């Protein structure tokens, strides 16, 4: 079981690289930074009754690849990514795939929508399922996240599990330098969230955090702050702002492929 899970994580990293390279599309750094979080959900912890929202929509390739590996998106559809006439634009589209419960692309929408779903499940007295929302650390600049945070605490949405992909880089600068750290443990704990900090590339830590959250008896909404590395696994991409945007040359692709194959082995 654990072997299959690790193999799927390895495959998804390589598939992300291949998809970005073939399409000539940017945002690869964002996909590589959160694939361990998403993979842990899609290949291990998320049940069919649970819902996942990718609030940082610019990491859509990671989501598409997870759905490819879990057989919801075909090879042919995935290969159409970024091309004219595709169902897979750079940010997740509405009303196309069951695994894409909500279309995003503008930051600060996933958390309040997830909070609404979590509240609705409380009203329906559905205590068996969870809502997962994956955000970026830069995304917590958005005021709408904080509106949703107040709502989630007030309504005791302990069925809401937020994951922050904290790679410390945002659109045009380091997160610490742009507005300061808006995804600090202290801030979110002070809001009333139950917070745990993990290494966002350590699937064992991620799994343990999620399993513990599912078991806790507290009424607080949950937050996993995952310390991650933008462009994780590729030496020339790691922690580099430009890999939010750049496309890969053939030589870069081959080097990246070699490194990802070796690092994940």
Partner 1 sequence: MRREFCNRIEQLGERDNKVIFLSGDVGFKALEGVQKIFGERFINMGVAEQNMISVAAGMALEGYKVFCYSIAPFIVYRCLEQIRNDVCFHNLPVFIVGNGGGYGYGIMGPSHHALEDLACLGGLPNMTAYIPAFDNDINYTLETILAESAPAYLRLGLGKYNPLLTPAGFFHPVVTPLSAQVTVAALGPIANNVLEALENPAIKDKADVFSVTKLPIKELPQSFVQSIKKTKKLLVAEEHTSVGGLGQSLASAILKENILLNSFISLTSQGYPEGLYGNQGYHQQKSGLDAQSIGKLLESL
Cβ 102 to partner 1, closest distance in Å? 7
Strand partners, 165: 136, 226
Among 202, 212, 198, smallest CA distance to 166 is for 198
247 is an interface residue for partner 1 by CB under 8 A? no
Please name which of 16, 198, 97 lies closest in space to residue 8, comparing C-alpha atoms. 16
Among the listed residues 70, 106, 212, 249, the single contact to partner 1 using CB under 8 A? 106
Name which of 232, 110, 114 is nearest 169 in CA terms. Answer: 232
Please choose, out of 28-36, 140-148, 196-204, 207-215, the segment that lies near partner 1 by the rule CB under 8 A: 140-148
Q: Which of 72, 147, 181, 197 binds partner 1 (CB under 8 A)?
A: 147
Size of the site for partner 1 (CB under 8 A): 28
> Residue 124 interacts with partner 1 (CB under 8 A)?
yes
Closest to 227 (Cα-Cα) out of 180, 263, 184 = 184
Of positions 127, 143, 172, 250, contacts partner 1 by CB under 8 A: 143
Tell me which DSSP letter residue 70 carries: T
- Scan residues 61-100 and list those touching partner 1 (CB under 8 A): 94-95
If the CB atoms of residues 97 and 253 are measured against partner 1, the closer one turns out to be 97
Quick one: which of 237, 254, 234 has its CA closest to 245?
237
Shortest distance in whole angstroms from residue 145 CB to partner 1: 9
Q: What are phi and psi of 251, to 5 degrees?
A: -65, -40
Of residues 180, 121, 115, the one with CA closest to residue 152: 115
Element holding 215 (H helix, E strand): helix 203-215
Residue labelled with tokens 């380091």: 174
Beta carbon of residue 140, minimum distance to partner 1 (angstroms, whole number): 14
Q: Per CB under 8 A, does 199 bind partner 1?
A: no
Among 30, 31, 40, 101, binds partner 1 (CB under 8 A): 101
In the complex, the residues that contact partner 1 under the rule CB under 8 A are: 94-95, 101-106, 108-109, 112-121, 123-124, 143-144, 147-148, 150-151
């Amino acid at each position: 079981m654990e072997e299959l899970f690790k193999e799927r994580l390895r495959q998804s990293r390589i598939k992300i690289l291949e998809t970005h390279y073939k399409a000539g599309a940017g945002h690869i750094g964002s996909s590589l930074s959160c694939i361990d979080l998403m993979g842990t959900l899609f290949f291990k912890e998320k049940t069919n009754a649970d819902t996942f929202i990718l609030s940082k929509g610019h990491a859509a390739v990671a989501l598409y690849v997870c759905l490819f590996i879990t057989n919801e998106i075909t090879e042919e559809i995935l290969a159409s990514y970024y091309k004219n006439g595709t169902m897979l634009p750079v940010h997740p589209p509405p009303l196309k795939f069951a695994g894409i419960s909500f279309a995003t692309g503008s930051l600060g929408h996933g958390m309040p929508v997830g909070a609404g779903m979590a509240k609705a499940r409380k009203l329906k007295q559905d205590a068996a399922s969870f809502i997962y929302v994956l955000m970026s650390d830069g995304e917590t600049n958005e005021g709408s996240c904080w509106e949703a945070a107040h709502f989630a605490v007030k309504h005791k949405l302990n069925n809401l599990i937020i994951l922050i992909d904290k790679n410390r880089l945002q659109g045009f600068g380091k997160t610490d330098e742009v507005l300061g750290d808006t995804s600090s443990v202290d801030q979110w704990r002070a809001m009333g969230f139950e917070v745990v900090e993990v290494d966002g590339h350590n699937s064992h830590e991620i799994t343990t955090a999620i399993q513990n959250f599912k078991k806790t008896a507290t009424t607080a909404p949950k937050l996993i702050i995952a310390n991650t590395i933008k462009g994780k696994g590729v030496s020339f991409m790691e922690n580099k702002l430009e890999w939010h945007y750049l496309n890969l040359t053939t030589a870069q692709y081959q080097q990246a492929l070699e490194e990802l194959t070796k690092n994940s082995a």
